[in-house]
């Protein structure tokens, strides 16, 4: 399963065929005209902008308005290597955000899901089967998200408030359904493309090259080269003065708004 190419909004790629393509040719033409005239796009909110618009007391234990923060995130797990990753994060006292995949992951590793939550990491939604959400019908989008919401709540007692659209593909329909389900969308600023290599040194190099303040790092805890790269990534970024936070901590004192798309 390939994960994921760079974020693409409906304004920067050709229209996907399924949601529009299953309609009549006339409706498809109208839709294309609307896109062309309206310049339909998905607006994103940077962490600094979210914090700047928020009011409230200084967040604890870290205030990213002052600290040089960065968020480590993992997609499409849990998997067989996630317990080892959790051991690393615990030893190095680093919180992370896990965007969990339902089918063959949440349902296969329920104890690991419970451990992720129990150890203070943010548990988030990455759909049930990893479809391109812009390529399926609204009721299918809702089912993909709701099924994972329900599964995580059964295991942890709490529904996720964050989701990451597979391959970073989102549009206004996805955003509206996320708003209904109480989910904020989270994209990323750097990815090591660890889905395409097992070279841990390369994964580390790519991650460090793109790391910056307010960054959101995208990795996958389901590929063989990724977990071995994590200790070196953490150690180097700490050496550079970064503080690791979860995505909600990165946005604080702002609270993630359902339906919004956050991207550094």
Which token pair is 251?
Answer: 């946005």
Backbone phi, then psi, for 255, in 5-degree steps? Answer: -105, 130
**H-state helical runs in 119-245:** 138-156, 172-181, 200-210, 226-239
Cβ neighbours of residue 3 closer than 8 Å, sequence gap 6 or more: 75, 76, 130, 166, 167, 195, 220
Is 75 annotated as catalytic? yes
Catalytic residue among 75, 171, 214, 221: 75
Is 132 annotated as catalytic? no
Whole-angstrom CA distances from 184 to 14, 54, 94, 109 are 25, 16, 23, 25
Catalytic residue among 105, 126, 130, 220: 220
Cβ neighbours of residue 112 closer than 8 Å, sequence gap 6 or more: 77, 78, 82, 83, 86
Indicate the angle between helix axes 82-92 and 226-239, nearest 10 degrees: 20
Catalytic residues: 75, 220
């Amino acid at each position: 399963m390939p994960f994921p190419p760079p974020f693409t909004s409906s304004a920067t790629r050709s229209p996907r065929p399924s949601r529009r393509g299953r309609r009549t040719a006339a409706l498809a033409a109208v839709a294309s005209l609307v896109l062309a005239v309206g310049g339909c796009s998905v607006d994103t909110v940077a962490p600094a902008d979210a914090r700047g618009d928020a009011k409230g007391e200084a967040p604890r234990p870290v205030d990213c308005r002052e600290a040089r923060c960065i968020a480590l995130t993992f997609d499409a797990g849990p998997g067989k290597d996630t317990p080892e990753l959790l051991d690393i994060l615990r030893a190095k006292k680093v919180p992370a955000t896990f965007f969990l995949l339902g089918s063959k992951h949440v349902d296969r590793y329920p104890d690991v899901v419970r451990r992720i939550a129990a150890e203070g990491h943010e548990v988030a939604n990455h759909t049930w089967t990893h479809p391109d959400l812009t390529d399926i019908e609204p009721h299918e989008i809702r089912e993909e998200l709701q099924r994972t919401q329900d599964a995580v709540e059964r295991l942890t007692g709490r529904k996720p408030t964050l989701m990451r659209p597979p391959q970073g593909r989102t549009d206004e329909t996805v955003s509206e359904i996320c708003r209904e389900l109480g989910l904020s969308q989270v994209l990323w600023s750097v990815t090591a493309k660890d889905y395409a290599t097992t070279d841990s040194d390369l994964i580390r190099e790519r991650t460090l090259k793109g790391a910056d303040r307010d960054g959101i790092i995208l990795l996958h805890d389901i590929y063989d080269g990724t977990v071995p790269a994590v200790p070196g990534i953490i150690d180097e970024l700490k050496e550079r003065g970064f503080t690791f936070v979860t995505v909600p901590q990165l946005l604080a004192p702002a609270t993630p708004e359902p339906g919004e798309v956050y991207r550094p």
